[in-house]
Amino acid sequence: MMENESGACGTGRSGEYREAASEAIAGLAARIAEEIRENGPIGFDRFMGLALYDPAGGYYARRTGQVGREGDFFTSVSAGPLFGLLIARHLTQFWEDCGRPDRWRVLELGAHDGRLAEDILDHLPEDALAALEYAILEPLPKLAAAQAERLGDRVRIAGDAGDLEPLPGMLVANEVLDALPCRLVESDGSEWNELGVACEMVRGLRSASEEASRFTYQSLGPAAPLTESLPLRPAGYRTEVRDNFESFLKPLSGLVQRMLWFDYGFERDDYYADSRAEGTLRTFHKHRADDNPLQSPGELDITAHVDFTAFREAVEACGGQVIRFENQSRFLTEVGREWLLSLEGRTDPDALKLVRNFQTLTHPGQLGSRFHVMEARFD
């Protein structure tokens, strides 16, 4: 929207939305500060969970539109429908390998506005589609409403894993694990300590009577046994640990036979390498990265890379077995091999556009090597 002469954005629905969003964000910060004042410093995982998923003011709970060129970050889905087309080919092969059951399920997590679901559904063959229940697990009401508006009766939207009965099927999750709340630890050279979040009141920011909360890190004491699998690192080395993978996976493991996870991260030795002394915790806003997640909770995306070794251990603890772990480029190239061959010799604009989309998804300098694919079996 164009600015008016005073430099402020124009009024109307957009202006009303921004005002409501600002109030929700300010309200969330005030509620976090109140919790800290009443109970003392909170774990960073608690802070991150509220900042992202609080039903009233959380980053993902307030609206859609964070993904894509006009949003805060870019994902494989943003490159166009090809990502969904290739996943649909993999899902179709799974259905055929299962003996083409009369009922089967695709269960998607982190579906956001439903665009990936739409792309997958548009490219499944009719016979597989006729037997399919496409379910989205979505506890946040505004996202569930956006998914229902886009997809209608093509999908089933459930607020809790307990609402779904087991069916032959595959779970699909694109960039979900990196947004799971994590805990922060820092080495003092002899042991690891956990960092929590405290707050202080700052007065007179704009007027003599105004005050606001400023969130700061504070040590919560020794981090053991949280860090028992981490090597000791020099003083000042700060990183993240997720101890919630198993509790996250357990209610999902009985619903499907396979799980397909797309995300960015490292195996443990690489994640906690000497050179990675500041960890991987980042925020994103309008495609700009920063490393201060304590500012403006609810306004910024907060993310940390995935420790795929820890996630593999959680899969095994839940009775699963990892059958594939590779970069996205290799996975999509294998899945799309026949499709790629069908494009040979074509020079029409549609074919060239698809090739460009494929290059975005697979090129090492773009999404191909940064993202990994982990597939697990639970049968």
Question: What average pLDDT does the segment 137-156 reach?
Answer: 95
Instruction: Kindly state the tokens that stand for 264.
Output: 């960015």
User: Which residues have CB under 8 Å from 231's CB, separation 6+?
Assistant: 272
- 27-63 pLDDT per residue, tens: 899 999 999 999 999 999 999 999 999 999 999 988 6
Distance between start and end Cα atoms, the chain: 52
DSSP secondary structure of 39-92 = H--EEHHHHHHHHHH-TTT-TTTS-S--BSTTSSB--GGGG-THHHHHHHHHHH
Q: H or E segment at 104? A: strand 104-109
Structure confidence at residue 204 as a pLDDT band (50, 70, 90) = low
CATH 3.40.50.620, domain 13-184+232-377, yes or no:
no
Question: What average pLDDT does the segment 229-258 reach?
Answer: 96
Question: Can you give the pLDDT at residue 352?
Answer: 82
Which DSSP state fits 304?
-
Residue 115 CA neighbour count, 13 Å, CB half: 17
Which DSSP state fits 287?
T
State yes or no: pLDDT of 372 exceeds 60.
yes
Q: H or E segment at 251? A: helix 245-253
Structure confidence at residue 282 as a pLDDT band (50, 70, 90) = very high
Structure confidence at residue 143 as a pLDDT band (50, 70, 90) = very high
Structure confidence at residue 22 as a pLDDT band (50, 70, 90) = low
Question: What average pLDDT does the segment 98-104 reach?
Answer: 97
d(CA 168, CA 320) in angstroms, rounded, equals 15
Question: What average pLDDT does the segment 169-180 reach?
Answer: 97
d(CA 26, CA 57) in angstroms, rounded, equals 8
User: Which residues have CB under 8 Å from 52's CB, separation 6+?
Assistant: 58, 59, 60, 61, 179, 181, 301, 302
d(CA 377, CA 379) in angstroms, rounded, equals 6
Q: What percent of the chain has pLDDT over 70?
A: 86
Structure confidence at residue 207 as a pLDDT band (50, 70, 90) = very low
Which DSSP state fits 243?
-
Structure confidence at residue 279 as a pLDDT band (50, 70, 90) = very high
Q: Where are the domains of the chain?
A: 13-184+232-377, 186-222
d(CA 344, CA 314) in angstroms, rounded, equals 42
Tell me which of 359 and 262 has the higher pLDDT.
262
Q: H or E segment at 109? A: strand 104-109
State yes or no: pLDDT of 171 exceeds 80.
yes
Q: Helices 245-253 and 308-317, interaxial angle, to 10°? A: 40
Structure confidence at residue 354 as a pLDDT band (50, 70, 90) = confident
Question: Can you give the pLDDT at residue 98?
Answer: 96
Residue of 310, 315, 330 whose CA lies nearest to 370:
330
Tell me whether the omega of the peptide bond preceding residue 225 falls within 30 degrees of 0, making it cis.
yes
Q: Is the pTM of this model over 0.75?
A: yes
Q: What is the mean pLDDT of the chain?
A: 88
State yes or no: pLDDT of 135 exceeds 90.
yes
Question: Can you give the pLDDT at residue 49?
Answer: 98
Three-state DSSP string of 167-198: CCEEEEEECCHHHCCCEEEEECCCCEEEEEEE
State yes or no: pLDDT of 2 exceeds 60.
no
3-state SS assignment for residue 108: strand
DSSP secondary structure of 190-239 = SSEEEEEEEEEEEE-SSSTT-EEEEEEEEEEEE-TTTTTTSPP--TT-EE
Question: Can you give the pLDDT at residue 14?
Answer: 45
d(CA 359, CA 246) in angstroms, rounded, equals 34
Which DSSP state fits 3?
B
